[in-house]
Amino acid sequence: MELNQAQSTFLLALFIGFLAVVYILIFGPGGHIRKGREAEAKRLENKIRVGGGLELINDFMELARAYIKLGRNSDAESAMRKALAMAENEYGKKSENLAPVIKTYAWVLARSNRTVEAENMRKRIKDLS
């Protein structure tokens, strides 16, 4: 059975519509992946509220990554600002122990299209070593 141009176009449009619906169901605001990411962010927020000590630095970094995946870039930057301040207070502003925190902060800034600030953070890592 041969399809004419109109039938082919209709089937293509139908298929593209089907793919769009599947994409929205998986990745959209109420999608499975989004719900999982929201649950992870909520778990980390609660952990930070009741936690303490140096583990909080890693928790803030994890939370920043979760926020980036959710598109909440300003929340991610805020979490990284807190993580960096805690790490600087604990280790000092020139300690090599700051490198992973600064690297994650630079990544968050880059994902937020703040490339100049991200590059400045990367330079700071080089200055530590």
CA atoms within 13 A on the CB side of 56: 18
In this structure, the answer to whether residues 38 and 75 fall within a common structural domain is yes
The residue range of the domain holding 100 is: 33-128
Q: What is the pLDDT of residues 60-103, one digit of tens each?
A: 999 999 999 999 999 999 999 999 999 999 899 999 999 999 99
Assign residue 92 a region (left: φ > 0; alpha: ψ between -120 and 50; beta: otherwise). left
CATH number at residue 54: 1.25.40.10
Q: What is the pLDDT of residues 29-45, one digit of tens each?
A: 777 788 888 888 888 88
Q: At how many degrees (to 10) do helices 99-111 and 55-70 cross?
A: 10
Task: Give the pLDDT of residue 97.
Answer: 92
In this structure, the answer to whether residues 23 and 75 fall within a common structural domain is no
Total domains, the chain? 2
